[in-house]
Amino acid sequence: MAKQNIYDNDAFFAEFKNNRGKELNFNDVIEAPIITAMLPELTGRKVLDIGCGMGQHAVQYAKLGAASVLGTDISEKMLAYAAEHNTAENITYRKLAFEELEEIADRFDVITSSLAFDYAQDFEGLMKKINALLADDGVLVFSMSHPMATAWDGVYDRFTRTETGERLYANIRNYGVEGVRHVRWVVDDYEVYHRRISTLINEITAGGFNIEECRESELPTEIIREHSDLFGGVIHRPDFIFFRCSKKRR
């Protein structure tokens, strides 16, 4: 199984860091509030954050009272940034790919992941690895790109627009064709995996989980209207999908 590591590409990392540094960005305005609202109580809990990136969520969990937070990521650049900017005494960062999660010997009360599972070639296998790391009464909360957003091949614009640039509707292409998608996003060969919503649901449950809650990205109308140049597409299709899951009882 190939291990993807686009974030150690110099150009990609620089652009990603620049986007995350902006006051208005999709991660902070849309993704973070929803995944935070879906979290269980973290006080005294052991937390694993998979694909922790630059550590924003890890330090957030530490501030919310987690007993310990382990953040894993494949990117050395991301982990170096996290170790410099998002640290606490109870946070540990470790370089691990999805395929290496079984090297973790501990079990966790809460496992999270923010927009990282798009890069998983074997999603069902990943769910099984996570299930083995989760305590019996633990909770898994994660976000990933919505299948409506990954149903795009980069050939056409994501939206059909008016002559003045207003988005009329989202362009969905080959939704039913699952697998890897190569598109241009900062670099020429950005790679993600597209799966239908039904596939996500079935592979989550096959991985040993019950789905307690599912949400899709959304924003208040006033924010969309005020910042239509950035968030105008949200009313046409969701960018992210969120799941809260518990382990199936044996």
Distance CA 135, CA 128 (A): 13
Distance CA 148, CA 171 (A): 9
pLDDT at 184: 66
pLDDT in tens, 52-108: 999 999 999 999 999 999 999 999 999 999 999 999 999 999 999 999 999 999 999
pLDDT at 1: 41
pLDDT at 207: 98
Give Dmax over CA atoms of the chain in angstroms.
Answer: 58
Distance CA 21, CA 62 (A): 21
pLDDT at 186: 59
CATH superfamily, domain at 6-146+195-247: Vaccinia Virus protein VP39 (3.40.50.150)
Structure tokens at 220: 């208040």
pTM beyond cutoff 0.85: yes
pLDDT in tens, 149-191: 999 877 778 899 999 888 999 999 999 999 998 876 656 677 8
CB atoms within 10 A of CB 34: 17
In the predicted model, what is the mean pLDDT of residues 31-59? 96
Whether residue 237 contacts residue 170, with contact meaning beta carbons closer than 8 Å, is answered with yes
Whether residue 241 contacts residue 141, with contact meaning beta carbons closer than 8 Å, is answered with no
pLDDT at 145: 94
Asked if pLDDT for residue 226 goes beyond 90, the answer is no
- Dihedrals phi, psi of 106, to nearest 5 degrees: -90, 170
pLDDT at 188: 65
- Dihedrals phi, psi of 151, to nearest 5 degrees: -80, 65
